[in-house]
Amino acid sequence: MQPGFRYLPGHLGADQQRQLVETLRLAVAEAPLFTPVMPRTGRPFTVRMTNLGTLGWVSDRDGYRYQSTHPETGKAWSPIPDTLLGLWRAVSGYPHDPEACLVNVYKGGAKMGLHRDEDEEEFTAPVLSVSLGDMAVFRMGGPERGGKTETLKLSSGDVVVMGGASRLCYHGIDRVLPGTSTLLKDGGRINLTLRRVTKP
């Protein structure tokens, strides 16, 4: 793996995972999941999304961007819960809090194509990811599209930190493995990514 990539398997215990799911259910009641579409083509993503924090990542026909309000309700996103702020402070190695927590929900055959997280202004902060629910095949590449890639299975409670040289590397989710976790009543997977968006 690239320098700055850290994999923390089972970093969150079962109780913490269950507590996070409860918190997320409340957040989603306030800021419903939406289906983003690709810029220009308008092709829908297979994942559904929402956000927590002062800024949320959205994608629509006009492009990718961060904004302070939900694209459908117009309301501000709910705050990032303390457990996630604590996780960031403990493992990010970055001295300022995250502003955005993107919530990606995978149901059925949802996946995520290879991409780079590059819509932020602050690349010296890592992106920190938390996996909940069914296992997923995570694909990690290098800084160029079309380079060599390798895969890693992410389980519920696993944390990934993409900092340093890995911060701007290509990555995606090939597929989710159904029935591999009992955390979510209806199955599927939730991925949380915590990001610092602006330069402090």
User: Rule CB under 6 A: is residue 173 a binding residue for ligand MD6?
Assistant: yes
In 45-179, the DSSP E strands lie at: 48-53, 56-60, 63-67, 100-106, 112-115, 127-133, 135-140, 150-154, 159-162, 171-177
Comparison of 117 and 134: residue with beta carbon closer to Fe ion: 117
Binding partner of 162, given ligand MD6, Fe ion, none, CB within 5-8 angstroms per partner class: ligand MD6
Q: For residue 26, with 0-12 CB atoms within 10 Å meaning exposed, 13-18 middle and 19 or more buried, which class applies?
A: exposed
CB atoms near residue 98 (< 10 Å): 26
Which residue in 101, 125, 127, 169 binds ligand MD6 (CB under 6 A)? 127
User: Rule CB under 6 A: is residue 129 a binding residue for ligand MD6?
Assistant: yes
Binding partner of 20, given Fe ion, ligand MD6, none, CB within 5-8 angstroms per partner class: none
User: Rule CB under 6 A: is residue 104 a binding residue for ligand MD6?
Assistant: yes
Nearest Cα residue to 177 out of 194, 159, 141, 152: 152
CB of 169 to ligand MD6, least distance (A): 9
Which residue in 17, 78, 156, 193 binds ligand MD6 (CB under 6 A)? 193
User: Rule CB under 5 A: is residue 99 a binding residue for Fe ion?
Assistant: no
For 86, the 3-state DSSP assignment is helix
Comparison of 120 and 134: residue with beta carbon closer to Fe ion: 120
